[in-house]
Structure 1
Amino acid sequence: MTKNFSRRSFMSKGAAGAVGLSLFANFANDLFAAVQKQSLYSAPSDLQITDVKCAYIRGGHSLFVKVYSNQDIVGHGEAVDATPGTYHLVKMMGERIKGNNPLNMHRIFEDVRRRGFFEGAQSGMYVATLTAIETALWDMAGKALNMPVYQLLGGKFRDNIRVYMDTALYQSSLPSPQDFADAATEAVNMGMTAVKFDLDQANDPNKYDKYNWTASPGELQRMYDQVAAAREAVGPNIDICCDMHGRYDLTTGMKVANMLEPLNLMWLEEPIPAENLEAYRLIAESTSTPICTGENLYLAHPFRRLLEIGGADIIMPDLQKAGGLGEAQRIANLANLYYVPFAPHMVASYLGAMASSHVCASVPNFMILEWQIYFHKNPMFKEIVDFEGEMVVDGHIPLSNKPGIGVEINEEGLRKYADENVPFFA
């Protein structure tokens, strides 16, 4: 059912007669202009998926998908990390969802997940790829219904999404305590109220050897000195969190968590690998430092067990690989039953950041979202997307009220950085 308006028919039907025509003209012109701005697509119930195409950057570690429809509405989605080599997986999933109405995104997600039970649909590349496609379906649905994604998720609790600055002060460069202090100060000067640092350092000369996950006394002292310098530089009212990237053992995790208690961290992130949730419980029970994990957990299932046993004080699923925006909201709502804060991991582009923001706005227990210093220092991250306004203001992402996610893939900009070994949106 297609809307069909013309200025002549509108005017002839709108005026009662020749006398009133001149008085009605201005009103009619304004109303006609407003009508023309509305979507002229056919009914949402007639919407169908026609194709799924993709592109990659960062050596395949960032996947961008575009879902196409019979009404010229395109949905955009993104996945990270578990994405190298997934081109044919995208195409396979695309074939499986063609002809479906994207407004049935939960059913489509469940159909693709169930069909992949013996293809790896429990985690990893399969779920990360499905995440990008599911996100694009939410974007398409919002555009079709002329609503922002947060509204489709049930509405919003907040208009601005607080973020912490990942300083990207990678330990591979052997940063000094002064480097930590300077990076923390820089972030605060940019309007941030929270910062994050990495503590794992593969080439630390104090390591026992490159395979031993136990931190030596020299490593422990280095970690403490670095974080203490950052705390002294920014004072007690700025949140500091530290990431160990799952590269230590249980003993070291406990030692570091207890050692850093006087520095009042917002959290200690992934001191040990993600697989052993019971070991996380032991660390969480041993310290007053909040323990945060979840970026390497997929779907809601492992979060259930993690929360049941008290394995984390804060959860941080990565919304660009955990299963999509619907699954992210389910994870957050599950955590809310245990009064556990929701603080998503985010290493994607501004498309992924805004997609995550819609989920963060839609749940009561949102704490803070990750933000990257590279948004400010690497021009690629502004070139590969189209958006309006400022990315971040005073340490917060202003939530988009545009239909869908509110951020689009800039195909021309993305092409400059695309992985040459993979077809580009083909």
Structure 2
Amino acid sequence: MKNDNSRRSFLTKAAIAAAMSPIASLASFGQTYEHAINRTPKASPPSNLKITDVKCGYIRGSLFVKIYTNQDLWGCGEGVDAIPGTYHLVKNFGERIKGKSPLNVHRLFEDIRRSGFFQGAQSGMYVAVLSAIETALWDLAGKALQLPVYQLLGGKFRDKIRVYCDTALYQQNLPKPADFAEAARKSKQMGFNAIKFDLDQANDPNKYDRYNWTASPAELQRMYDQLAAAREAVGPNIDICADMHGRYDAVTAQTIAKRVESLNLMWLEEPIPAENVEAYKLITESTSTPICAGENHYLAHGFRRLLEIGAVDIVMPDLQKCGGLGEGQRIANLANLYYVPFAPHMVASFLGAMASAHVCASVPNFMILEWQSYFHTQPMFKEIINYEGEWVNNSFITVSEKPGIGVEINEAGMKKYAIPGVPFFE
């Protein structure tokens, strides 16, 4: 009744005003209509949103994808590692989704994946490129619906994402224990409470044979001394993990894992190649040092066997190549059924870091996310993206509350780093 009275009162007053001053009433109505137009969003409803184009650019180890629509909205995504030479694959995927709604993220993901069963859709370049496309779709959907990606993924368990700093000492030729100690101290001073080091050294003069993956006694001693120096430098309350990049055999893995048990590592990462999960199980069962793997596994399918047989203690999918954000969440949820922590690998730009952070916020079993020291040392990473706010503070990223991922690529800043001879967002 109240609504009827209000409506009747409005109409009565409007009629009286119109009779008393038709010209004034007309002017007033025009202003009201103009104000209503100004308040109305100019873009069509999200249900009418359609993909119009997909373009990409390459910078060193990363592929950046941008998906355009008929409403001047776009989404950005990133793929890593298995992306060289994939320009035409990106364009091919783009043709498959043109004219479709970007809001159907899972369906478009499945459309591309299922249509590629005989084209390599199980792993590698196909899935890495699909990861970039899928991430851009989430970014676009968030912008269209004015929601951060974590909200589209079901909400968040946490506001901040803990990260560990990869010291990248592999870029230094044969670092000594003192170099490990110095890098550990520096990372701690920067506020990080978790640090990662690389143990594999192809140029180690104590290596007997470049193709024999068994470490010599001197190599094993070098690995232990490096980690021991780092532990002594930062004390017992800073997490330390070590990466072997899948470059050794099971004998070496078992030996070094046992050797460093007293150092209380957060994990030993990929001591052997990814393919043989049964070998991983033997290593994991032989030591109290947690074993971590997953950056070279693809899709949730690639993690099923690892988890079923207890091959690893921690899973670390790379969300920029394992299938994207939705697939990353599926992997985390699968791991959660086995009470296995989720600690994503991350070697991308800050766009990839924040995209990963949205997934980490959305799952209960998140442990820690990788953070790269190059963010602090290489100006390129600041130049290729636009982001307002602090990147990391005391070993934590604050998850963006902006629509989509919350990080934009800067094409002008990227162009000077683009790979020569490859089309750049064309």
Q: Quickly say closer, same or farther: Cα 1:39–1:133, change in 2 above 3 A.
A: farther
Give the structure 2 partner of residue 7 of structure 1.
none
Between the aligned partners of 2:405 and 2:213, the Cα distance in structure 1 is: 41
Give the structure 2 partner of residue 8 of structure 1.
none
Between the aligned partners of 1:352 and 1:318, the Cα distance in structure 2 is: 10
* Aligned residue type for 1:318: D
Higher Rg of the two aligned structures: 2
Between the aligned partners of 1:65 and 1:415, the Cα distance in structure 2 is: 14
Give the structure 2 partner of residue 71 of structure 1.
71
Give the structure 2 partner of residue 234 of structure 1.
234
- The worse-fitting range, judged by mean Cα deviation, of 232-241 and 386-395 is 386-395
Give the structure 2 partner of residue 402 of structure 1.
402
Tell me the CA shift for residue 421 of structure 1.
1.6
Give the structure 1 partner of residue 417 of structure 2.
417
Unaligned runs of 5+ in 1: 1-12, 18-27
1:237-287 Cα deviation digits (max 9, x unpaired): 000000000000000000011001000000000000000000000000000
Checking the alignment, whether the CA contact within 8 Å between 1:241 and 1:266 is kept in structure 2 is yes
Equivalent runs, 1:242-257 vs 2, <5 Å: 242-257=242-257
Equivalent runs, 1:205-220 vs 2, <5 Å: 205-220=205-220
Tell me the CA shift for residue 41 of structure 1.
1.9
* 1:224 is the counterpart of 2:210: no
Give the structure 1 partner of residue 357 of structure 2.
357
Between the aligned partners of 1:42 and 1:363, the Cα distance in structure 2 is: 33
* Aligned residue type for 1:233: A
Tell me the CA shift for residue 171 of structure 1.
6.4
Give the structure 2 partner of residue 165 of structure 1.
165
Tell me the CA shift for residue 416 of structure 1.
1.2
Between the aligned partners of 1:345 and 1:39, the Cα distance in structure 2 is: 40
Give the structure 2 partner of residue 153 of structure 1.
153
Q: How many residues align?
A: 398
Equivalent runs, 1:247-286 vs 2, <5 Å: 247-286=247-286
* Aligned residue type for 1:153: L
Between the aligned partners of 1:232 and 1:39, the Cα distance in structure 2 is: 60
Between the aligned partners of 2:401 and 2:393, the Cα distance in structure 1 is: 16
Checking the alignment, whether the CA contact within 8 Å between 1:163 and 1:194 is kept in structure 2 is yes
Between the aligned partners of 1:421 and 1:358, the Cα distance in structure 2 is: 34
Between the aligned partners of 1:331 and 1:221, the Cα distance in structure 2 is: 36
Between the aligned partners of 1:83 and 1:53, the Cα distance in structure 2 is: 15
1:58-80 Cα deviation digits (max 9, x unpaired): 1xx21000000011100000000
DSSP 3-state at the match of 2:247: coil
Give the structure 2 partner of residue 56 of structure 1.
58
Tell me the CA shift for residue 172 of structure 1.
5.2
Equivalent runs, 1:12-411 vs 2, <5 Å: 40-58=42-60, 61-170=61-170, 173-411=173-411
Between the aligned partners of 2:359 and 2:398, the Cα distance in structure 1 is: 13
Question: 4+ residue runs of structure 1 moved beyond 3 angstroms?
Answer: none
Unaligned runs of 5+ in 2: 1-12, 18-30
* Aligned residue type for 1:252: T
Tell me the CA shift for residue 39 of structure 1.
5.1
Checking the alignment, whether the CA contact within 8 Å between 1:172 and 1:202 is kept in structure 2 is no
DSSP 3-state at the match of 2:421: coil
DSSP 3-state at the match of 2:203: coil
1:299-353 Cα deviation digits (max 9, x unpaired): 0002010000001100000000000110000000000000000000000000000
Tell me the CA shift for residue 40 of structure 1.
3.5
Q: Quickly say closer, same or farther: Cα 1:93–1:155, change in 2 above 3 A.
A: same
1:165-217 Cα deviation digits (max 9, x unpaired): 00001165110101000000100100100000000000001001111100000
Between the aligned partners of 1:348 and 1:216, the Cα distance in structure 2 is: 33
Checking the alignment, whether the CA contact within 8 Å between 1:355 and 1:405 is kept in structure 2 is yes
DSSP 3-state at the match of 2:255: helix
DSSP 3-state at the match of 2:169: coil
1:209-237 Cα deviation digits (max 9, x unpaired): 11110000000000000000000000000
* Aligned residue type for 1:73: L
* Aligned residue type for 1:162: R
